[in-house]
């Protein structure tokens, strides 16, 4: 029997599939956008110009302010450009960093926007936003931060470097596995999350073999969207990955890839149904080891040491993670956190 549950579906139009970018002009019409600014990163400016050619006549300018960790100066530049052009909407192209800025800008200005998603971070589906890092960050949450439409065109990801793709895909896996046992999980979420893990676990290795395999790219993008449809309240993996990467300036997606097997290993005995779903999705005998082995198969670093964390930083990492309120299947003490982060630092297979 299915237990009582509550499920909320956020009001985002989704346009998915090869060639989906062709719907950009029509989606701008749906949302009555006639004066647009395009937000992107400086390295993707030429790409953004090509991707938005269909709305060139109503595009008033390009804002290439996006930087990792959404610094305050980038956010202020976006707001200035939107105001200067008197925009009635905007388009954001890229992954987590530009989309993070877009969410903060939309929440602040009330303007609608279209997200053209080119990585697997899933940020576009999360109503939470933040600007800045560590102690200087500001945060918010609400449907005003979400895009009016999200466009997923796997053809736009064909040139995304293989390793970047793998790390971004494992970030999506992290969303899915923690949603399986979050305090606010439900049967709908569990079904989506298990399918996301299955799709990502089979398609990411294919993508690494041939980064221009459109079928593999499509499966990874679909899996990432499934994983992003629901976000558990801050679980152990996200608490570790988000805080450690912010405080020690580590790569976002790679940090999630590293942290996931160790968080799952710690929680394994307290969330047997979630572990069964992960094992089934990956075809593995053990959930944590299956995730670890997937990192190895994709050629990703398995330890935070490989991302630049120093051994002497482990104690501080424990402190900053311990300061976060974490919802997960079993309590975690500072001694537990030290064990988990020390294992994640070294990068050997998880042992719990």
pTM above 0.85, yes or no: yes
Residues forming CATH 3.40.50.1970 domain(s) in the chain: 13-157
Question: Consecutive sets of 10 residues in the chain, 352 residues long: mean pLDDT of each?
Answer: 68 94 97 96 94 96 86 89 96 93 94 97 88 71 94 96 97 94 87 97 98 97 92 80 92 96 96 97 98 98 97 96 85 95 98 94
Give the tens place of pLDDT for each residue, 131-184.
876 556 778 888 999 999 999 999 999 999 999 999 999 999 999 999 998 888
- What CATH architecture is 13-157? 3-Layer(aba) Sandwich (3.40)
The partner residues of 215 in beta bridges, in order of sequence, read none
Give the tens place of pLDDT for each residue, 270-308.
999 999 999 999 999 999 999 999 999 999 999 999 999
Between CA 62 and CA 40 the distance in angstroms is: 8
> What pLDDT is stored for residue 255 in this prediction?
97
> What pLDDT is stored for residue 164 in this prediction?
96
> What pLDDT is stored for residue 61 in this prediction?
95
CB atoms within 10 A of CB 300: 21
> What pLDDT is stored for residue 48 in this prediction?
95
Which of 3.40.50.2300, 3.40.50.1110, 1.20.1090.10, 1.10.260.30 is the CATH number of 162-346? 1.20.1090.10
> What pLDDT is stored for residue 185 in this prediction?
86
E strand or H helix at 15, and its extent?
Answer: strand 13-16
Burial 100-127 (b: 16+ CB within 10 A, else e): bbbbbbbbbbebbbbbbbbbbbbbbbbb
């Amino acid at each position: 029997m299915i237990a009582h549950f509550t499920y909320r579906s956020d009001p985002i139009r989704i346009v998915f599939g090869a060639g989906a970018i062709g719907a950009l002009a029509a989606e701008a019409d749906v949302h009555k956008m006639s004066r647009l600014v395009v937000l992107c990163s400086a390295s993707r400016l030429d790409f953004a110009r090509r991707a938005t050619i269909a709305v060139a006549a109503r595009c008033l300018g390009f804002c290439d302010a996006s930087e990792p960790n959404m610094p305050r100066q980038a956010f202020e530049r976006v707001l200035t450009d939107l105001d200067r052009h008197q925009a009635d909407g905007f388009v954001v192209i890229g992954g987590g960093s530009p989309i993070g800025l877009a969410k903060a800008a939309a929440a602040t200005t009330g303007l609608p926007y279209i997200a053209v998603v080119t990585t697997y971070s899933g940020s576009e589906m999360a109503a939470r936003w933040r600007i800045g890092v560590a102690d200087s960050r500001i945060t918010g949450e609400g449907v005003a931060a979400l895009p009016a439409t999200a466009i997923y065109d796997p053809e736009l990801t064909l040139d995304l470097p293989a390793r970047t793709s793998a790390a971004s895909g494992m970030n999506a896996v992290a969303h899915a596995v923690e949603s399986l046992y979050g305090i606010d999980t439900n049967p709908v979420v569990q079904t989506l999350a298990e399918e996301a893990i299955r799709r990502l676990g089979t398609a990411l290795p294919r993508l690494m073999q041939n980064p221009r395999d459109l079928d593999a790219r499509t499966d990874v993008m679909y899996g990432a969207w499934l994983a992003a449809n629901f976000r558990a309240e801050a679980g152990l993996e996200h608490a570790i990955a988000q805080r450690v990467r912010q405080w020690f300036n580590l790569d976002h997606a790679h940090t999630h890839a590293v942290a996931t097997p160790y968080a799952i290993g710690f929680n394994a005995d307290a969330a047997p149904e979630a572990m069964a779903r992960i094992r089934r999705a990956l075809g593995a005998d053990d959930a944590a080891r299956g995730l670890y082995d997937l990192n190895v198969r994709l050629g990703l670093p398995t330890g935070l040491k490989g991302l630049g964390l120093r051994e002497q930083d482990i104690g501080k990492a424990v402190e900053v993670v311990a300061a976060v309120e974490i919802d997960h299947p079993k309590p975690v003490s500072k001694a537990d956190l030290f064990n988990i982060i020390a294992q994640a630092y070294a990068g050997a297979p998880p042992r719990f």
